[in-house]
Structure 1
């Protein structure tokens, strides 16, 4: 449609007025011109002539500040990161030969090959219900960590990228060409690309080739999946995938598979009303009440910390930027294989591992600081210890029938993934997207932000309201209906293979 104006969170009256009004012809023309200008900047690249007045200079770092994963550290690489690098290098040296023998990499690659591994069919197959099953050897080795050398091809196979390409009703190049002309989310995507992983070697330079690929993937997906469009948090997911997948089209279909396949189904986390997010939160709260009641009362009753104040980012970004990167990629290894159970299980595991430390914290500010500032930099446990704990937590959840069940109808895509030439989104879709984007912005802004005293609220109001925390309901959830508890009994693994949900 081309309507790009963003509703201000600082003025509820203005927001309501804008949501109720339809754009004028002049506003549509201005939005089209802005979209063309943004796309042109990415096409011109970092060496384009002239810079925008409000464009900050690219971050400057020295080579000795760059860690193993491509992240810069202004004060030098922390000892914890160096220790993690050593653990990974030693583990990969021991495991690569085992993975090579187990999978037997094939010389063929890409859409024309049946698999990138000659023995993939021996470690992974689909049962009658269409669920992935794995050999017990493969399952154990995923928990121990996929070697860096094999992470990309294994993720490629787990996400069934070749199948996604074949089943897509339209080619990626067509979607991209159409979206660059018509997506109503171009402006918001541009803003988020500018602040996504700028502390890495990959995205440090504004409008560099990596930023352009990230922009293209997000813009294309905003018109491919009309129900979601674009929401804050998706840029982090796509940027992370781009660190491992080879090209733009692969990353696009990897993102699409994460949103729509049965195991991951992240679609329900980003659509308006966030049905899957609320379901995850409810399951997480049930796990705490059953297994960690003391921690639950300490955090949510005694200190009244809303559960959305720290879990939104955990669930919507699968712990990216919530734990050290060396741990995040290990969590993602398991998430790629088993999907949803890994997300809620890891939240439960985090609270169990850190329960003693959490119980010693004496205020809501201390708790939020610990979740938001301490854990992302110093987790206090090795990656192997955390993954062992995750496996134990999933076993406890399965025994208590608390594993996430299959996605519900309200969490799945409703609009076909296609378009017709000349198609424009109608006003209702654009308004729904705008409301969804603002809800996500509100939740992300509130997440990990300390609640203010009356005097601080007054000061924030005088500053335009940018620091105000939006109030939540009595259960700590922002808005929307609470989903029912998903507690369907999960399949039981056999001796030789393991069903994905019982992995």
Structure 2
């Protein structure tokens, strides 16, 4: 491995998406990973260009699913997300709708809630800083405002700003970002961002039940220390791992999320827990459990996104939508009974 100084000279201070690298960033380890990953990306980009030749719509298929699991090249990501999520179809069927929403009736409460979160959204990203040209804060504000007017039952909820911000970084297009946000909030993650957040609370309980079945020792530890799953994974679910995992890994997860739906979130969460089961089981208090759950989202395991994505489809074992649906029904009923 090269000395850190030489690796640092080649790796820019900001990543390709504009995020500033932290002070303790391991340049040497990243250089070693990225040089090998670049070869994978180059090979896959050529195959994707062949698959998408002709410029038509992106349709789901087993071939496409296999390709997506191996990673969508950045230059094709927006088109693929739009196609497989149904966002493109919605946008085509509603021409001009996004721009009409921006001209809609004022709602001071909604606008103030969004404005409050503007400077809190990716302060470590040069494209969202006020001095940037262009500054993406305006695009982010527009997308969230339009969505709040579009989905009155949700309005605006903290966490949506991070998701919309990532969408804007990838699409470079407000209207596409709006329709992708609609696909996530309205269809892929129903009831995650409603005032009661019943869908979010349900899925956190579902994860707990899956861990109880697949990793019973961890479930016993959580119970023993009285740590509810919401305490350690709510940010994972609300922000779709945006502020937990490295950006390239998050985007690889989202590739599959847009195509295969919400079960991908469970696969990622279960893989993180299973991979670090021995580490988690060393916790001696509730605070220690929480700290260990922060630790397991750092390091080479999550940085090496290609290997990580292979693991999420092997480590958790079988995970059918039928199982998730059944668990959702029972967990939702239990939550509603608790009031």
TM-score, structure 2 as length reference:
0.85
Change in CA separation of 1:227 and 1:220 when aligned onto 2, cut-off 3 Å? same
Bigger-Rg structure (1/2): 1
Change in CA separation of 1:167 and 1:481 when aligned onto 2, cut-off 3 Å? farther
The answer for the alignment partner of 1:384 in structure 2 is 306
* Residues 88-107 of structure 1: pairs in structure 2 closer than 5 A: 88-106=37-55
Shift of 1:336: 1.1
Report if aligned partners of 1:176, 1:219 keep a CA contact under 8 Å in 2. Answer: yes
Shift of 1:83: 4.3
Report if aligned partners of 2:267, 2:312 keep a CA contact under 8 Å in 1. Answer: yes
Change in CA separation of 1:407 and 1:229 when aligned onto 2, cut-off 3 Å? farther
Change in CA separation of 1:375 and 1:326 when aligned onto 2, cut-off 3 Å? farther
Shift of 1:155: 1.1
Change in CA separation of 1:176 and 1:88 when aligned onto 2, cut-off 3 Å? farther
Shift of 1:74: 4.8
Shift of 1:254: 1.3
Aligned residues: 323
Provide the C-alpha distance between the structure 1 equivalents of 2:76 and 2:316, rounded to a whole number of angstroms.
25
Change in CA separation of 1:97 and 1:377 when aligned onto 2, cut-off 3 Å? same
Provide the C-alpha distance between the structure 2 equivalents of 1:246 and 1:376, rounded to a whole number of angstroms.
28
Change in CA separation of 1:295 and 1:230 when aligned onto 2, cut-off 3 Å? same
The answer for the alignment partner of 1:268 in structure 2 is 191
User: Which of 303, 306, 330 lines up with 2:252 in the alignment?
Assistant: 330
The answer for the alignment partner of 1:255 in structure 2 is 181
The answer for the alignment partner of 2:234 in structure 1 is 312
Shift of 1:481: 6.5
Shift of 1:239: 0.2
- Give a deviation string over 1:366-395, Cα, whole Å, max 9, x none: 2212223x2343253532332222212565
Shift of 1:255: 0.8
* Residues 196-215 of structure 1: pairs in structure 2 closer than 5 A: 196-205=121-130, 209-215=135-141
Provide the C-alpha distance between the structure 1 equivalents of 2:116 and 2:32, rounded to a whole number of angstroms.
35
Are 2:19 and 1:71 equivalent residues in the alignment?
yes
Report if aligned partners of 1:394, 1:403 keep a CA contact under 8 Å in 2. Answer: no
Shift of 1:407: 8.9
The answer for the alignment partner of 1:187 in structure 2 is 112
User: Which of 229, 236, 241 lines up with 2:167 in the alignment?
Assistant: 241
Provide the C-alpha distance between the structure 2 equivalents of 1:175 and 1:185, rounded to a whole number of angstroms.
13
Provide the C-alpha distance between the structure 2 equivalents of 1:304 and 1:277, rounded to a whole number of angstroms.
20
Give the gaps of 5 or more residues in structure 2: 1-10
Q: Which has the higher contact order (CA 8 A, sep 6+)?
A: 1
Shift of 1:294: 0.5
The answer for the alignment partner of 1:452 in structure 2 is none
Give the gaps of 5 or more residues in structure 1: 1-62, 107-113, 125-133, 409-474, 485-503
The answer for the alignment partner of 2:5 in structure 1 is none
Provide the C-alpha distance between the structure 1 equivalents of 2:326 and 2:53, rounded to a whole number of angstroms.
33
Provide the C-alpha distance between the structure 2 equivalents of 1:220 and 1:206, rounded to a whole number of angstroms.
24
- Give a deviation string over 1:420-456, Cα, whole Å, max 9, x none: xxxxxxxxxxxxxxxxxxxxxxxxxxxxxxxxxxxxx
Provide the C-alpha distance between the structure 2 equivalents of 1:407 and 1:228, rounded to a whole number of angstroms.
21
- Give a deviation string over 1:465-500, Cα, whole Å, max 9, x none: xxxxxxxxxx9x9xx97169xxxxxxxxxxxxxxxx
The answer for the alignment partner of 1:220 in structure 2 is 146
- Give a deviation string over 1:48-70, Cα, whole Å, max 9, x none: xxxxxxxxxxxxxxx95212332
Report if aligned partners of 1:68, 1:85 keep a CA contact under 8 Å in 2. Answer: no
Provide the C-alpha distance between the structure 2 equivalents of 1:240 and 1:138, rounded to a whole number of angstroms.
23
User: Which of 49, 54, 75 lines up with 1:149 in the alignment?
Assistant: 75
The answer for the alignment partner of 2:266 in structure 1 is 344
Are 2:273 and 1:354 equivalent residues in the alignment?
no
The answer for the alignment partner of 2:104 in structure 1 is 178
Provide the C-alpha distance between the structure 2 equivalents of 1:172 and 1:260, rounded to a whole number of angstroms.
16
Provide the C-alpha distance between the structure 1 equivalents of 2:241 and 2:139, rounded to a whole number of angstroms.
23
- Give a deviation string over 1:129-173, Cα, whole Å, max 9, x none: xxxxx22x3222222211222212211211233321244497211
Greater shift in the superposed pair: 242-251 or 147-156: 147-156
Shift of 1:244: 0.6
Provide the C-alpha distance between the structure 2 equivalents of 1:318 and 1:84, rounded to a whole number of angstroms.
24
Provide the C-alpha distance between the structure 1 equivalents of 2:121 and 2:33, rounded to a whole number of angstroms.
23
Change in CA separation of 1:363 and 1:407 when aligned onto 2, cut-off 3 Å? closer
Shift of 1:272: 2.0
The answer for the alignment partner of 1:162 in structure 2 is 88
User: Cα RMSD (Å) of the superposition?
Assistant: 2.9
The answer for the alignment partner of 1:287 in structure 2 is 210
Report if aligned partners of 1:277, 1:315 keep a CA contact under 8 Å in 2. Answer: yes
Change in CA separation of 1:168 and 1:183 when aligned onto 2, cut-off 3 Å? farther
The answer for the alignment partner of 1:56 in structure 2 is none
Larger relative helix fraction = 2
